[in-house]
Structure 1
């Protein structure tokens, strides 16, 4: 992605009553690689070096101040959150109106530590009960932290609340909704109540150099569902060069995620890099297509590469959110994938949350899975399933086509010959030691 660099200079804030001087650093020049999207990202428009808005560090609620600064510096300016400063987002903050603007986060952003308040005020979405503290959207927007900026979700409060109430809404600490063109880079994110990031209804976005982790202070209420990234109804997205230490999917491709590259990630403690889950909602048509996952290190996870599909439901079932959805997964490649102490190096299931193998076989998934490539996998699994190291289970052979595995060098900790569960698969396309499931 090409960028116009901003020279360093002193500015006076436009978003506060009191003058504040700040030396604006250059916008980082970001590159995509080694894999690059088939549709190049658009080039950001030039920014006006005199149009800089510093968000007032004295306000109790930084949400309205941030909106005001973005309105002032929209169309060519830069909004700044100062270093060594804590900003509290204490009300839902809608930043989906942005146009040719940069957001520089050098301070720490926290979110009002009030579970009850956010239950009725956070932005809510029907799909999997997504809720947001704030959201970014518009066109040509660069959000960056230069490795300094921090988003702190104060997650322990929310994880503890979930322990006593499973239905509590736990918001996500970073979200795009309708962002077309731009980047997110150089941010630190810790202790998200739920997923760390969701990229929704967006396209042509580069995400790079992000550091994600959880800090547990109450071991009886550990983190839950803290996915690194979830993509939803988005296309032409690159996520790269980042570290993720979390408690759920490192990356998850939710419905209608297409043309996405994931590369150069170090993931620890997660549920893998996952397609899905898909087919959860009857009457919905889910698509995941043209996904490339490259050069991943995955440690201490339940899975390395993962595809999870809900099974079918009995005829005349209505109102189901536990399977039966249609659609397809097509042209997904996992290449150069290092495993260390993962329960499964690869897991493909079309029986996700099925009551039993028998129930899954009785009502097989209708969502198609085809043209899937696993290649150049190496490393070791955990002892959980030793000597089995992976599981590829299709509910019916008619809905799984052209699923291939090649150059797979995965070893169980015992050193025994690695075994793979292969159910309803074309074993001639799998260069692995298949055994009965």
Structure 2
């Protein structure tokens, strides 16, 4: 009799699919990663629960049924991309269903065949950390492989260093959500240094021949409001991390990712070559009394051959900034809200180390309610800015569209700077300024600006009147194509508070 029961029990088990709890599935050189929050774990057998309290119909899972009934999961779906004006992220509860229904196969003391259908539960999101499995996937498939991050929310509670990738394609279909309940206890003390100005990052990303695609579905949520509030309007807080840093990368391609509420700068490109970043949507907006300070779209530094195209950025600082020792940078088709616009600098802060910027193009850019549009900011240091073009820039209520300053922020030693600025073209800069100033430009008296060229400049104050141009120390001022209305002192502000 016992033998017959055992045979029946084994036959029933054969009808049930095997349990699958792995968050990483590797097939060949491809790793598919599922968020731990979407990977259910068995909690208890309903065989130990009174039938009246069960939430599964036992009749549907009786031995006469072909297979057990799967739990009811939310319908799978793609995350919608939030509108640029929103600072929220898609709901975390939307998760993909498991591919198979797990079964508790623990032995039972009773002679009676008992249904062991398992109830599901998920750990609270605050206790989940997907960082180890994310890093494991990069380790397993980061060389000559493909990594696919499935839909769902990946909770990231630790820093990540994935700079040894090679010939790797990455697909992100879900959300990367950085924690904010451990800002003081972990993040401020653990982020990776990126050398520049004492800044740091949450994710160092690099290697050779690497692509990261989000298909318009990937979302990076840095919980930025928590960072904004704890920083209380401060500037460059030590340990406050850049969301993603391309570090020592060669042939890097990043496309189709949305950022919401970044911790600090959205991205940074450093010590890298041949980096292309396209179709990105970034928005960090404060909804409290504190402003979103230093939330740049991206900054380049010590890098060359950079292509940035088709971005929408809402930020509390520079939209796109090209910093020292950047060469061959092409920026096009950008829309910026509440930002600092297209900027070269700042650079030259270390008086003993020259900074150089060569061959930069910004074109086809639209700016709304921004501080500046097409501008260059340097400290009184050493080096040069050479061969820069600002082309087809449309301004809508921009504080001071064109701005050049040789002593940014301090207003001191402005004429002593040895960082020369030459061969800069402003072409088709149009739209409205907030006040009656279209341009303020103060170059170094020791190394005057040369080769400035203006054409198609049509900027009008939004409240009517004529916009003025203020200039100092431009060597070819008489032939540059723009009439100066007066001198621009060294303490001329980057942002104006009214008409001049």
Q: TM-score range by the shorter chain?
A: 0.7 to 0.9
**Cα displacement string for residues 148-195 of structure 1 (whole angstroms, at most 9, x for unaligned residues):** 000011011111111187644210111110110021000000111211
Residue 139 (1) aligns with residue 195 (2): no
In 2: Cα distance, 1:340 partner to 1:424 partner: 29
Which residue of 365, 374, 386 corresponds with 1:296?
A: 365
Q: What is the aligned partner in structure 1 of residue 414 from structure 2?
A: 360
Match of 2:406 among 350, 370, 376: 350
Conserved in 2, the CA contact under 8 Å of 1:347 and 1:391?
Answer: yes
Greater than 6 Å deviation, 4+ residue runs: 19-22
Task: Give 5+ residue unaligned stretches, structure 2.
Answer: 1-19, 38-127, 488-500
Change in 2 beyond 3 A, CA 1:68/1:17: farther
The structure-2 alpha-carbon separation of the partners of 1:299 and 1:371, relative to structure 1 and needing over 3 Å to count, comes to same
- In the TM superposition, residue 332 of structure 1 has moved relative to its aligned partner by 0.5
- 1:434 equivalent to 2:481? Answer no
8 Å contact from structure 1 (residues 186, 210) kept in 2: yes
SS of 1:186's equivalent in the other structure is strand
Q: Residue 62 of structure 1: which of 130, 153, 156 is its match?
A: 130
What TM-score comes out, normalization by structure 2 length? 0.72
Contact 1:418 1:433 in 2 (8 A): no
Q: CA 1:381/1:77 → structure 2, altered by over 3 Å: closer, same or farther?
A: same
**In structure 2, what is the equivalent of residue 88 of structure 1?**
155
Query: What is the 5 A alignment of 1:232-381?
Result: 232-311=301-380, 325-355=381-411, 359-361=413-415, 364-381=416-433
Aligned: 1:422 with 2:492:
no
SS of structure 2 residue aligned to 1:435: coil
More displaced, 146-155 or 398-407?
A: 398-407
For the structure 1 residues 412 and 432, does the alpha-carbon distance in structure 2 shift closer, same or farther, using more than 3 Å as the test?
farther
> For the Cα contact (< 8 Å) 1:162–1:168, is it kept in 2?
no
Q: Distance in 2 between matches of 1:225 and 1:306?
A: 17
CA distance in 2, matches of 1:281, 1:296: 31
Which residue of structure 2 lines up, in the alignment, with residue 46 of structure 1?
A: none
1:18 correspondence with 2:22? yes
Do the aligned partners of 1:365 and 1:399 also contact (CA within 8 Å) in 2? Answer: no
User: Where do 1:140-159 residues align within 5 Å?
Assistant: 140-159=209-228
Check the 8 A contact 2:33/2:134 in 1, yes or no: yes
The answer as to 2:250 corresponding to 1:190 is: no
Residue 112 of structure 1 and its aligned partner are, at CA, apart by 2.4
- Between the two proteins, the alignment pairs up a number of residues equal to 374
Who wins on radius of gyration, i.e. which is larger? 2
Gaps of 5+ in 1: 1-15, 23-48, 312-324
| Structure 2 counterpart of 1:213, from 283, 290, 294 | 283
In terms of mean alpha carbon deviation, does 413-422 or 343-352 score higher?
413-422
- Give the whole-Å Cα distance in 2 for the aligned partners of 1:215 and 1:373: 32
Equivalent residues of 1:408, 1:431 under 8 A apart: no
Q: Which residue of 2 aligns with 1:181?
A: 251
Measured on the aligned residues, the alpha-carbon RMSD in Å equals 2.0
For residues 263 and 355 of structure 2, what CA distance do their matches in structure 1 show?
26
**Distance in 2 between residues matched to 1:345 and 1:132, nearest whole Å:** 31
How far apart are the structure 1 equivalents of 2:29 and 2:248? 24
Q: Which shifted more, 228-237 or 114-123?
A: 114-123
Q: Deviations over 1:96-143 (max 9, x none)?
A: 010001111111101121211112211013322221111111101001
Aligned partner of residue 390 in structure 1, secondary structure: strand
SS in 2 for 1:279: coil
Shift of 1:53: 0.7
For residues 349-406 of structure 1, what are the alpha-carbon distances to aligned partners after superposition, in whole Å with 9 as ceiling and x for unaligned? Answer: 11212245xx534xx21111111111111111113xx1x2111111216331111111
Q: Quick one: distance in 2 between partners of 1:134 and 1:19?
A: 21
